Amino acid sequence: MQKIKYKLKSTGETKWRYKYYRDGKHVTVPQKSLPYIPKSEAQAEALRKQLEADYEAEKVEERQLSEWHEKYYSFRELFNQFETYRKRVAKNSWKDKLSYFNNYVLHFFLEIKKAENLNLWANYREEFRNWLTTREKKRGKGNLSIQTMNHIFTEYNCFIDLMYSNGKCKNNLKIDLYEKSELNERNADDLITLEEYEFIRSQLEGVWQDFYTILYWTGMRINELYSMSLADVHRNQIPHEQLRQLLESVFKEKPRCYFLLKHQLKDRKKISFKPLKSKKKINEKNTRYVPIYTTDAFNALAKYVRKQREEFKKGKSADRCMLFLGEFNLDKLNGRIQKAYESSNQYQYKSAHLTRHAYATYLGGKDLSGVIQKLVLGHNEQTAARYNHLHETLVRKMANKENSAAYDDEWDDIA
């Protein structure tokens, strides 16, 4: 970097200009791009050193970028790194997350775009977003939901973040997620009617049938129920008088038993949190009481309670006596349910998670304040209000249909 001193003819004022040699040519640094105008020899020399350092850093960056543009990686190695990372940070859902990443992210960028250079991925982000809107669901009919696309975008962003932090790519430009207001809301087509539930239940056997039954009559998340232990089940009366009266005012009877979701397991390698979806501290403020009223659900649960009571009598602690953990492979649950749906031409496939939406809609018609929904399901006020509205919509739309009672009185009539 050269510093050239000169004087203005009009005023005699001393000025400095700066030149550097690049690609066989002398290039003058424009005055307007200088960080400041030096007023003395010392300032001029300090500025020369600063510009020289910036220029050298720019050359290093350009050289590195040039190398990156020609750099190809073994994506098997990168995927293994990502898999290890996902297993560590998402102990209970890493398989689903990697499935999103494999089936959509890697498929698009490596198989369709042939972009084996990570630095090129950012150029295809918008095209990837548009491509996803045309993809069909793996199970069932229709295109991917916005919520599913958000899951896929999240895996892309996590992968790029990890690669950037490991020095494998130049930038970590993300794909923006859809706003909450854009997410698909549940409607009548998403709900599992009582008649539909009874048919699917009849097609399942053993632990699959029992687990599905309890899901439908409790509205619990799949991972929550799967993580329940003997310590979480109670037959005694709910200790809080006001809480007991509140539940009875909605359900009109005393529960056969209830789950109490309030504690954490010591062994975080197995199940991290209850409720698993939340990372909040488990305390009285977000403790959940999940009552069981129906005979079907109570009898289904009793089998596993009796089995674990035997383990408890042998000296195993109650919070280690897991009711369902180890009884079956949770990853195969929706596959079993899908096969049950395939045996009928009347119903469209609905995943096990939609039992929660059916139960929430049922509560939405009984609990207009949302207090019970928060207590039983863990919903916030906004979510509870949405289910209240959905229930009202269903009642209006299905007033003249045979199955309209499935969302109201039929639930109460189960012995």
> Where do the domains of the chain lie?
2-69, 75-182, 188-412
Residue 209 pLDDT more than 90?
yes
pLDDT tens figures, 299-322: 999 999 999 999 999 998 888 899
Instruction: Report the distance separating Cα 101 and Cα 159, nearest Å.
Output: 9
With b for 16 or more beta-carbon neighbours within 10 A and e for fewer, the 43-69 pattern comes to: ebeebbeebeeebeeeeeeeeeeeebe
276: helix, strand or coil: coil
At residue 277, the pLDDT reads 45
Residues 357-378, mean pLDDT to the nearest whole number:
69
Half-sphere exposure of 81 (CA within 13 A, CB side): 17
Percent of the chain at pLDDT > 70 equals: 74
Both tokens of 58, joined, read: 């720019």
365 forms beta bridges with: none
First-to-last alpha carbon distance for the chain, in angstroms, is 89
188-412, CATH topology level: hpI Integrase; Chain A (1.10.443)
Residue 183 pLDDT more than 90?
no
Residue 56 pLDDT more than 50?
yes
Residues 59-65, mean pLDDT to the nearest whole number:
66
Sheet holding 25-28, edge to edge: 2-7, 14-22, 25-28
Residue 322 DSSP label: B
Question: Which residue did the predictor score with more confidence, 356 or 155?
Answer: 155
User: What is the 3-class SS of 99-164, one letter each residue?
Assistant: HHHHHHHHHHHHHHCCCCCHHHHHHHHHHHHHHHCCCECCCCCCECCHHHHHHHHHHHHHHHHHHH
Q: Is 216 within 8 Å of 358 (Cβ atoms)?
A: yes
Closest CA to 149 of 111, 182, 123, 118: 182
What does the mean pLDDT of the chain come to? 77
pLDDT tens figures, 103-136: 899 889 988 888 888 888 999 999 999 999 888 7
Residues 208-212, mean pLDDT to the nearest whole number:
95
Both tokens of 235, joined, read: 């037959």
At 407, the pLDDT band (50, 70, 90 cuts) reads very low
At residue 378, the pLDDT reads 64
